[in-house]
Amino acid sequence: MQLFILFESAQGYFLFEKEDYDETGGNLAKVQKAVQSLERFSKTTKLVASHAFKTAEEALENIKAIGAPQVTSTLKNFLAKNLPATKSSKKQKFAFGISDAKLGPELFAETGITACHNDTTMELIRGIRLHYAKVIDSLTDADVTKAQLGLGHSFSRSKCAQDVNRQDKPITQTIALIEQMDKDINTFSMRLKEWFAWHFPELTKIVNDNTIYALIVNLCDARRDNLTEDVKEELEAIVKDEEKAGQIIDAVKISMGMDINDTDALQIKKWAERVTELIAFRETLSEFLKQRMNAVAPNLQALIGEIVGSKLIAHAGGLTNLSKYPASTI
């Protein structure tokens, strides 16, 4: 039986032909001996067609597809052009060898060609890989090495960009930033409360939440006299409690705080705005961390939450390291 062999390389697709192929694998020993010698191998296996990749992008696309495995339009057209025509109603009159058995079902679905993957075809592919630079006149060993090196670098970069193990780096950095921001926000909020408490000390006892406190200072432009019945609805929206909003307005009327001038009020308001912005950014980071953990470590997130889970990943030095630890260490 006639055997065609598909060989993928950094230069392109190559189609080799071997006559008198024994489908039962009885000629495996002969093939193994022939592979060792270029002279003997070239007599039994010949190049019948080739398709050179025109750009590095085309080479990367096709090699990635082979590894997926998928059949690109380039490969499909190459096989349709150079293999004997097959009819679905008749048995295929030739054998077609491939290096990856997983590519077989995809080839059959796209082209109707039945591919084989056995010891004999693998030995032939090994021989082709060993000798193809010498069999093809337009190629040299230096060309092959250069093309393989360039494609290898491109392939590695694309894999690194898509590797899920690399996605734990943003998690590590985000949780570290969140922890630092929590400390900074607490410090800045404390300074804001100390500063504004000279003017309205009663607010500190009524409102404990840093975010709500900063929003109230923004609302009144750092002046307690602006917290009147006219802004009660806005105040209720901030504190989310009608009773507490009433307490704040009542406290303004009996406040023992000192008066402040416009310059001081302006600086307090600017500082309150900055604290509010930091708190809002911290919430954005938390949402980003939740999404990253859901994509990278959903099981860990479901068990202990994104905050504790991300701290474990950061402490272990990465998700891969964490997965290797025994339960007692964790």
User: How far apart are alpha carbons 57 and 321 in whole angstroms?
Assistant: 34
Task: Over range 188-196, report the average pLDDT.
Answer: 92
Q: Are residues 72 and 216 in the same domain?
A: no
Q: Are residues 138 and 271 in the same domain?
A: no
Which of 146, 162, 178 marks a domain boundary?
162
Which of 103, 136, 162 marks a domain boundary?
162
User: Cβ(162)–Cβ(70) under 8 Å?
Assistant: no
- How far does Cα 54 stand from its chain's mean position? 28
The number of distinct structural domains making up the chain is 2
Structural domain includes residue 230:
yes
Judged on CB neighbours under 10 Å (0-12, 13-18, 19+), 76 is middle
Per-residue pLDDT, 68: 81
Judged on CB neighbours under 10 Å (0-12, 13-18, 19+), 70 is middle
Q: Residue 248 CB: number of other CB atoms within 10 A?
A: 23
CB-based contacts of 92, cutoff 8 Å, min separation 6: 86, 113, 114
Kindly report the CATH number assigned to the domain that includes residue 27.
3.30.420.220
- Pick the most confident of 30-39, 136-145, 156-165, 248-257: 248-257
Question: Which one, of 38, 52, 43, lies nearest residue 17 by Cα?
Answer: 43
Structural domain includes residue 317:
yes
Kindly report the CATH number assigned to the domain that includes residue 220.
1.10.287.4070
Structural domain includes residue 330:
no
Per-residue pLDDT, 117: 83
Q: Are residues 158 and 185 in the same domain?
A: no
Structural domain includes residue 270:
yes
Q: Are residues 179 and 280 in the same domain?
A: yes
Q: Domain containing 265: what range?
A: 167-324
Categorize the per-residue pLDDT at 163 as very low, low, confident or very high, splitting at 50, 70 and 90: low
Per-residue pLDDT, 267: 94
Preceding peptide of 298 cis, ω within 30° = no
Per-residue pLDDT, 78: 87
Structural domain includes residue 86:
yes
Judged on CB neighbours under 10 Å (0-12, 13-18, 19+), 115 is buried
Per-residue pLDDT, 87: 53
**Which stretch of 6-10, 47-51, 142-146, 296-300 has the lowest confidence by average pLDDT?**
142-146
